[in-house]
A and B are shown apart, each in its own frame.
Chain A
Amino acid sequence: MLDLDQAIKERHSTRMFLPQPVPRELVNEALVLAQYAHSNIQPWHLVFASEAARDRLVAALVDEAKRRPPNIPPLPPSFQHFRSELGAQVYGAMGIAREDAAAHAAAVLRNWEFFRAPLTGVVCMHRDLGPPDALVWECSCKLCYWP
């Protein structure tokens, strides 16, 4: 078992998953632990989709992503260098040259395939709550997507 320091350092974004199914009991254990996270109001709501439900979600998202760009507010200019640097590192690790538009587009599209993950989820919060209520936002969230 990882100690806490190791788990914190080991956690990083996975951008390509194996098709191997995720045991539901492992996810349930992790969710029970997550319920202990700091909060006074426990605002989070998760919806998971796997198997056929996951496949339908991915098909609909990929279809839409081929049609039009996502509605994502741009990062403020002072933060954009983070995304540029991350993009260079991620695409570099994928062996995609900056000028290779086709490979770049294919890699971006994998966002809406959840990077082929067999278990996909959506994190929600009541619409009347604001960011201070959530404290679920990680600054790095927006960095997972770079146009």
Chain B
Amino acid sequence: MFLQTLLLALTERDLGSCVEVSIAGYPEIVRAQLGIPAQLSILCGLAVGYPDPEFAANKLHVGREPIGENVVFLDS
């Protein structure tokens, strides 16, 4: 919830972002470099900056399934 809200607020400010679980794949490196204590779990990385307009993959908006694929209404 927090992260999505943050991403939307960044988007509104013309900032690009990428949520990266790949960063959590080396937790001991991240801990050592950033001084993250043992009581915190590392969920993911977050890249923030201005998108490179020349990079074609930045224009990729991955499609989403229709809501019928993941939502059910029970009325009776």
The closest CB in chain B to the CB of A90 belongs to B57
Is A78 part of the binding interface, using a Cβ–Cβ cutoff of 8 Å? Answer: no
Is A122 part of the binding interface, using a Cβ–Cβ cutoff of 8 Å? Answer: yes
Q: What is the CA–CA distance of A95 and B27 in the complex, to the nearest angstrom?
A: 31
Number of residue pairs across A and B with beta carbons under 8 Å? 229
Q: How many residues of B contact A (CB 8 A)?
A: 56
Q: What is the CA–CA distance of A120 and B73 in the complex, to the nearest angstrom?
A: 40
Nearest CB in chain A: distance from B64 CB, A:
10
Q: How many residues of A contact B (CB 8 A)?
A: 80
Q: CB distance A122 to B52 under 8 Å?
A: no
Q: CB distance B19 to A140 under 8 Å?
A: yes
Nearest CB in chain A: distance from B36 CB, A:
6
Q: CB distance B49 to A17 under 8 Å?
A: yes
Q: Which residues of B contact A (CB under 8 A)?
A: 1-13, 15-27, 29-30, 32-36, 38-52, 55-62
